[in-house]
Structures are given as C-alpha cells and as structure tokens.
A and B are shown apart, each in its own frame.
Chain A
Amino acid sequence: MDRIPILKLGHSLLVTIQVDMHDRLAMALEEDLTQKIVSSGAKGVLIDISALEIVDSFIGRTLANIAGVSRMLDADTVVVGMRPAVAITLVELGLSLPGVRTALNAERGMALISRRVAEADRDGAADAPDVHGDE
C-alpha cells in the first residue's frame, strides 16, 4: 500500500501530501505520524496540503485527530497551504478544526513551529534551571 513520506527536519516533521487522499491512506498517515513523533521526539508537525483539491469530512476529521494526538505527545500541528475552496467546504461541513494551527504556506508554518520551539526552550530553561544548568 502507498504511504505518505514523513521527513524529519530539525525539531519538526514535514509531511507533504501530493496525492489524493483516500481514507486508508489518511489512517495510515495518522498511525505513521504518531509512531514517528514518539521515535523522533519532534516538537512540531507540518502538514502541507496545498496540492489537495478535495478534503472530505473524513480527511478533515483525520487532520483534527492528528492534531489531537500530537498535542498529547507534546508536538504542535500546523496545517499549511489550504486552498480557498477547501477551506469553504470544511467550514460548510462544520469542521473548523479548532485544535489545529494553520499557516498560509510552508515557510510561515515552519516559522510558527520554530517560534514555538524557541519559546518552549526558553520557558523550559526558566522553569527548570537545574536540569539545563550545565549546558
């Protein structure tokens, strides 16, 4: 079965969906991504859907699920590059993906994740100086 490749890029995972998503592919992606977040200790997940022309309710829900799972595993999900027609469709379907962060393109999405990682590092350093004290 086809799988969508997941690339590790520093602190984040990069997923670019270039093919039409069908339900099994979406489920496989959710599973792979969960495994990968744990194994790589990623702080952010960037999903580029700029090539997706059709997003149905199932794919929409899968995106929301991925966001939920990754938040639980301490990683932020950013969905980037959604097309206007797709956005309108999702809103009409009542799926406004409340837990998912969004950005206009991959560049801004990456900036969002880096900012978040930097903040987390700073907060972590401030909250627990003992742990990172030696660094």
Chain B
Amino acid sequence: MASKAVTALAGLLASREDKILAAWLSTLAGATADGRISRTEIETQARDFLRALRESMSGGDTSSTGSARLRDMLSSISRSRALLGFSPSETATFVFSLKLPLFEEIRAAHGSDGEALARDTWTLTELLDQLGLHTIEVFQKSREEIIQRQQDEISELSTPVVKLWNGILALPLIGTLDSARTQVVMENLLQSIVDNGAEIAIIDITGVPTVDTLVAQHLLKTVAAARLMGADCIVSGIRPQIAQTMVHLGVELNVVSKASLADAFALALTRIGRTVVPIRSGGSGQPRSTGAYPGALT
C-alpha cells in the first residue's frame, strides 16, 4: 500500500475525529453497563487511542501493525482490562468496534469512488485486525502473569512447617504434590529440622486430594531426605479411599504411618520419651501411665 494513501486517510480521520469518536463511544456504551469500568475512563482511552492511531498513520507508517506508541498504549489498556476481569472478546471488542464508525465515515467521504473506498477499507481492516490480535496477545500474557503469581503465592502459603513440641515438627500438606512443590516442601522441612533441632517430622497428608505413584514417590523422597538429616518421619492422615487406591495401585510407603495427626503426635511423643496424662483430680489419684507424671510435658 502506498504511504501517500495512508497519509490521506489520516487526514480524513483528523477532520472527522469528533464524529467518529462520538459514534464509537455510543457502541462502547454497553461495556460500561456493569460498572467494571467508568464511562470517563473509557472515553479517555478511546480519545487517546484514536489520536495515537491518527498519528501513527499520518507519520507515514506503512506497516500494518501500527506505531510502537500505539501498540504500547493498547498493551496498557489490555492489561488493565485483564486485571479488571474482562473476557478476551470484550477486550478485543474495544478495538473492533471502531470499524463501523470508521467505515461509515470513509463511505461518506469517498461517495461513489468504489476503488478508493475498497482500498481504504482494506487498509483500515488490516490495521485494526492486527491491533485487535495484539490486544488479545497482551491480554493472554497478562492473565498468565496473574496465574503464575497466584501459583507462587499458593505454593508459599501451603507449605508451612509447624513446631508441635520441642523436637517434633508437623508438615500439613494441602493440595496436590508435584515436583516443583515437593522441592519447596523438602527445602522448608529440612531447613526447619536444622533450625529446631528436630528429631521427628510428621507429614500430614489429610489435605492431599489424590495419592498416585508419583505423589508417593515424592513423599518417599522427602522422607528419605529427612532421614539423611537424622530425623524420623511419620506419615499421617491417609484417608480411607486414598489408602484403598494406594493398595490397588500397588503403591507402598515404607514408612511409619498413622491414621490421624493425633495418633502420629502420640507416637512422636513416645519416641522422645514423653506422654500425655490426665491432670490428677484432687491431687490423690495416680498418673495412669507408669513412669509418667503430670509435669512430663514440660
């Protein structure tokens, strides 16, 4: 396409900018209906976009993708829409809805000159389509960034190591165990073992929805690493269905496992030579377990 034609088209746009903007805004009115974006904001965006589009074309930019400034501006619009929770098609409609008012103005300007009309329509269609695709691409990228950030946050949040007693740590696992998470879990657990001088770590998998061979392997790795550090592991919270599935799959966890975290904690206390006994009523009763006394848990 000749750059002269594009410049002429830009001149046409400049002379009728207000009219085009008004028509465009009326088609965009639907987007503000649910209050996610204010009318003034959309007006500002539309006006700036139209100006940037005109400048890009009057600059004699004959590429079909528009100037860098135009694309940057569209990127920021698209990114803000993604954050506001707009769907991809709603976001792209912002650009595509400009076609109708533009084409009407071109038709009015060219009158019966069919060839010029077809040429300009094609030029604008190509440009706007590219810009629309660019919008979608940025939108997609922004969504992916959001998802990635949330994923990082979840993996940080869901791997706390809790100190239950001197020398006893608990690791309540929530969510599916994949390789990346296992790595984080393992690092957290091992560092906590060093920091607390722990002898026993209880891995509670009540919050793990499924245990397949891969998850079991990850669990065993964690157990093996803790053992190398000199800490024993107890696995607790294997739900009945999961236990059945594991047996059917032939998955074997060759570690001490207990049904509930409470059982595991009791075993851990026994291992470090502690026990839980009821407080003596009236000071006359004897402790239930031999060798233990109420002060045993100090």
A37 at the interface (CB under 8 A from B): no
Whether B227 and A96, one on each chain, are in contact in the complex, defined by CB atoms closer than 8 angstroms, is yes
Whether B230 and A91, one on each chain, are in contact in the complex, defined by CB atoms closer than 8 angstroms, is no
CA distance A83 to B229 in the complex (A): 7
Whether B197 and A96, one on each chain, are in contact in the complex, defined by CB atoms closer than 8 angstroms, is no
Interface residues of B toward A: which range? 10 to 19
| Residue of A82, A92, A104 with highest tally of chain B CB at under 10 A | A104
- Of B198, B199, B225, B227, the residue contacting A88 (CB under 8 A) is B225
A16 at the interface (CB under 8 A from B): no
Whether B230 and A84, one on each chain, are in contact in the complex, defined by CB atoms closer than 8 angstroms, is no
Q: B interface, by DSSP: helix, strand, loop or mixed?
A: helix
CA distance A92 to B194 in the complex (A): 20
**Residues from chain B with Cβ under 8 Å of A80 in the complex:** 230
Q: Which of B183-211 contact A (CB under 8 A)?
A: 183, 186-187, 190-191, 193-194, 197-199
Mask for A82-103, Cβ within 8 A of B = 1, else 0?
1110111011100011000011
CB-CB nearest in chain B for A86: B228
**Residues from chain B with Cβ under 8 Å of A105 in the complex:** 197, 230
A24 at the interface (CB under 8 A from B): no
| Residue of A88, A96, A97, A103 with highest tally of chain B CB at under 10 A | A88
A122 at the interface (CB under 8 A from B): no
A8 at the interface (CB under 8 A from B): no
CB-CB nearest in chain B for A84: B190
| Residue of A90, A102, A103, A109 with highest tally of chain B CB at under 10 A | A102
Whether A82 and B229, one on each chain, are in contact in the complex, defined by CB atoms closer than 8 angstroms, is yes
Min Cβ gap A109→B in Å is 8
**Residues from chain B with Cβ under 8 Å of A90 in the complex:** 225, 228
CA distance A86 to B187 in the complex (A): 11
Whether A88 and B193, one on each chain, are in contact in the complex, defined by CB atoms closer than 8 angstroms, is no
- Of B187, B193, B224, B225, the residue contacting A104 (CB under 8 A) is B193
B231 at the interface (CB under 8 A from A): yes
Known: A80-B230, A84-B229, A104-B231. A91 touches B194 (CB 8 A): no
A115 at the interface (CB under 8 A from B): no
A108 at the interface (CB under 8 A from B): yes
| Residue of B186, B224, B230 with highest tally of chain A CB at under 10 A | B230
Whether B197 and A88, one on each chain, are in contact in the complex, defined by CB atoms closer than 8 angstroms, is no
B19 at the interface (CB under 8 A from A): no
Please list the 10 inter-chain residue pairs (A to B) with the smallest Cβ-Cβ separation, ordered nearest first: A84-B190, A96-B224, A103-B230, A104-B230, A87-B228, A102-B230, A87-B225, A91-B225, A91-B224, A91-B221
Given contacts A84-B190, A90-B228, A104-B230, 16 further A-B contacts (CB under 8 A): A82-B229, A84-B187, A84-B191, A86-B228, A87-B190, A88-B183, A91-B186, A91-B228, A97-B228, A102-B229, A102-B230, A103-B230, A104-B193, A104-B198, A105-B197, A108-B199
Binding site for A on B (CB under 8 A): 183, 186-187, 190-191, 193-194, 197-199, 221, 224-231
